[in-house]
A = this chain, B = another copy of it.
Amino acid sequence: MTTDEIFNLIKEKKSFLCVGLDTDVSKIPEHLKNESDPIFTFNKAIIDATIPYAIAYKPNLAFYESEGSKGWESLQKTMEYIPKNVFTIADAKRGDIGNTSEKYAEAFFKKMGFDAITISPYMGRDAIEPYLKYSGKYSIILAITSNQGAMDFQFLPTAIDNKKLYEKVLIRSSRWGTEENMMFVVGATRPELIKEIREIIPNHFLLVPGVGAQGGSLEEITKFGMNPKCGLIVNASRSIIYASSSKNFATDAGSEAYRMQQQMKNMLELHHLI
């Protein structure tokens, strides 16, 4: 998928919402637990209810791996079920030496058919390059994450120019690819930094987690982060998929996705993008 195609999807749905499929078997409604594949049954209902409002889905690998090979089957079925005209992100946070990254790229882009994968930058350029070879696929590099631990290393000022580690990550890794094969994770819990980030990477799409359960503000993110192609994919996981645990969980998830989409529509109009 090109960035133009992503932007067309955003304009069509008047939304830049990504639904995070952090599907925890211990949290899904009781009545689904007797199904042969409760995770897939849950995901299917969530996708059906949210698809009018979402441009992307982001399964979080940990929640599937904790179920072993059965979890991977649920993930594969989920990937087959998600319509081909939305963007799919493997939230896998991988990163390893070249020959290993090649295998991860094969796993997520070829075997599973994802459009994008999240990647930790700690191991540097050759850990990222194998992913960049796939046309129309994206490496989404962690820059600033939404958790408290982001403060431990990402904000360390470096010697010589005093730039923080996450700035070095943005500056260096953006040179290794283009806007057509690279995006960056910037947590919604620190919207004030998005303005500075846009000075380094004006054109890249940002994947923004941390709205919803983690408390980030959509208004502030769009104020500083939006660019002429929108440039934002905002993720909400728990606030949507666990909107309720009743029999109506899917309808309630749909309502929450709709509520967010309406806010996003307002932002897109405000910025004259639709």
Binding site for B on A (CB under 8 A): 22, 24, 60, 62-63, 65-73, 75-76, 91, 93-101, 103-104, 106-108, 111-112, 120-128, 142, 145-154, 156-160, 162, 165, 168-169, 172
Contact = CB atoms under 8 A, between A and B. Distances in A.
B157 A160 contact: yes
A142 B124 CA distance: 12
A123 B101 contact: no
A260 to B, nearest CB: 20
B165 A147 contact: no
20 contacts: A22-B100, A60-B96, A62-B94, A65-B103, A66-B104, A66-B107, A93-B94, A95-B120, A97-B146, A121-B122, A122-B154, A123-B142, A124-B150, A124-B153, A126-B147, A126-B148, A127-B149, A152-B172, A158-B165, A159-B162
B97 A123 contact: no
Contact of A123 (B96, B127, B150, B156): B150
Contacts of A76: 68-69
Given A68-B72, A125-B152, 16 more contacts: A62-B94, A62-B104, A65-B108, A66-B103, A69-B70, A69-B73, A93-B94, A120-B120, A120-B123, A121-B122, A123-B149, A126-B149, A127-B147, A156-B168, A158-B159, A159-B159
Contacts of A60: 96, 100, 103
A66 B130 CA distance: 14
A149 to B, nearest CB: 2
Contact of A62 (B69, B96, B126): B96
Given A107-B68, A158-B156, A165-B165, A62 B123 contact: no
Contacts of A172: 152-153
